[in-house]
Structure 1
């Protein structure tokens, strides 16, 4: 059996893993079976740097992007990926933008849609916003780099808690 689980923080993932393993162990014991656990790979959850996100958002909005700034908990981005591992090493963001697709991300339908000419304008807007945010950092390193590093340190402290 393959089991995939995700949580918003590294600490919560560790707690969730304990619970999942307890459930699997209890199921094996209740049915008279044995279990063997083989861990394949694990990715950390994405930890968005608030300073970099603010810069990206400013430029994306200047390019016409509308953001839903409602309830932060409802909009919480919970994903575990190789980008999550990067986010736990250096200040990072993982912007998400919409393209018209008949299927969700990581499907053939999405791949086909991403190659369609209609996907190019939103992709270019996202790329421009990231480039402009990067330019802000290059032009204001004495202010923005320490801010991003301080936010990163606070994020990592939060992420390692349950």
Structure 2
């Protein structure tokens, strides 16, 4: 388990950011998890000021840093992992939530078809909002995954699924 992930699990989010950044710049093939979790944290800093930053005592300057960095991290991740359904999902989902960019159920389903070899469960939390019955089995597995690794990303996903 990499150090960034350990800090993320311990809710030491600024420390996790620094460690994830170190991993993606120093390793020849950083873990996909480092890209996805780092991009998520940056997006969270930018998008969830009252819901995340204030309760987690994230200084205000991180909202701007997060807004600048999350698209860069996604792009870097896609250069290393071009077939990652999760990275392609976040590339569409983050601007959708932050800037109200178009991202529909059909768009998300198309991503899953295009990158079906990845088997990522992450996009299903978005699809579940449209059709709970159809995606119920995927959601059960996703919640188990979120419970097993309660990173900031997984806590967010779980909060959407269990509210």
TM-score w.r.t. the length of structure 2 is 0.27
TM-score w.r.t. the length of structure 1 is 0.27
